[in-house]
Structure 1
């Protein structure tokens, strides 16, 4: 028994179409996705009790930092601590990760400067004279709000790690889109 395909009556540019309906399971999947989307939208988009992806990411990040920072305890925010961690590759990696997630949009991926933020890898600084000033600028902001204050969002340990990363980046003179800004300042001490 041979199956003769049925050709539909219409023709487009000399092309005729067979009458082959879409398989039933395609229709079932189509309707299932529509039905699934309704409770999904209600649960995840309209329910304030369900954590968002951002909340979950922040909780995971915080837990990971707590685990890492448990190794060193609560740090003191001072020049000596910043300079000490500026020479430790393990903790510089933590600082670099924090820098990329919070600072890179303005200052570039490695601190080379961006369209808004100045180059942090040269020897020119506007609001910094000593390493501790980096921590103050991170906490309190600068330039009338162009550099936002991060003190209310970052722990002391995080400020130390970011400051240490910036101390370590100084002098690398990575090319960036902005010219040098500010004054040349003396070295930060024993760190690079």
Structure 2
């Protein structure tokens, strides 16, 4: 066997350590140089270097944003006819036109995910009980759950100051010198009894009298609510601001005042009808 040939050194030495002379293959070196040249050319031709509020545009003027915008425009042109038909269709008649209805559901799903899911949850279940954002899957509707009412609510919103046609109602804060602490406890005990719950304090019988004197005008004598006023049904065990005794007492004392924005300044008529159709078919639409 021949002796192993020792690799020559470069002549560099430090602390007794010498450097072998093992140069990279020439083909690898030239490829490396080519990538450097390619990188310089790329930064000149395409957007690359970040500036204060933008990036260098590049000599070719290429933009992924422009590509996305063109793709969006292409789909808008494809759907222009059915969108126009949806906008012209009465809310209650959308389901009768299969093509329009299918488009409305798919379009409404995307609109809901973009604009509504932050409050109502990605599944439209209100995220969690007691946060003041309604569950849109059940059949409890403060302002009515048919197509016309849903379209109106989405269009104008609730208790906002931006749309003069917004739905509006206000529950008094009964803790502000309206009712005493004992009376509030009695009312809470009565309201809880309507859903089969028992309060730790208060007299439901006395609370019923107080309820009829102070609450029945909006919620009804049987506590079934009034959609025209946005007054909830208090006997269905569905609670917008929580079902605990403490949460109910807080609602009676302070008077909840939830606000929903009007969407007629951000969504067009077709988008509003589409999201209304999507919400209506989730299972809770009247």
Q: Would the TM-score normalized by the shorter structure come out above 0.5? A: yes
TM-score of the aligned structures, taking structure 1 as reference length: 0.58
Partner of 2:107: 94
1:67 aligned to 2:54?
Answer: no
C-alpha change, 1:109 and 1:58, in structure 2 (3 Å) is farther
* Deviation readout 1:114-139 (Å, 9 max, x if unpaired): 48854322234455554333323433
* Deviation readout 1:62-113 (Å, 9 max, x if unpaired): 4424422414644336441355469944542232233334433443333233
TM-score of the aligned structures, taking structure 2 as reference length: 0.43
Deviates most, 158-167 or 141-150: 141-150
Partner of 1:40: 46
> What does 1:26-175 align with in structure 2 at a 5 Å threshold?
26-41=32-47, 45=55, 53-54=64-65, 56-71=67-82, 73-74=84-85, 75-76=87-88, 78-82=90-94, 84=96, 88-89=101-102, 91-114=104-127, 118-126=134-142, 130-142=146-158, 144=160, 147-171=260-284
What 5-or-longer segments of structure 1 have no aligned partner? 172-186
* Deviation readout 1:116-166 (Å, 9 max, x if unpaired): 854322234455554333323433444648644432343322211111000
Q: Within 2, Cα distance between the matches of 1:148 and 1:68?
A: 27
What 5-or-longer segments of structure 2 have no aligned partner? 163-258
Q: Within 2, Cα distance between the matches of 1:4 and 1:128?
A: 90
Asked if 2 retains the 8 angstrom alpha-carbon contact of 1:82 and 1:163, the reply is no
Asked if 2 retains the 8 angstrom alpha-carbon contact of 1:135 and 1:159, the reply is yes
Report the aligned-residue RMSD: 4.5
Asked if 2 retains the 8 angstrom alpha-carbon contact of 1:138 and 1:150, the reply is yes
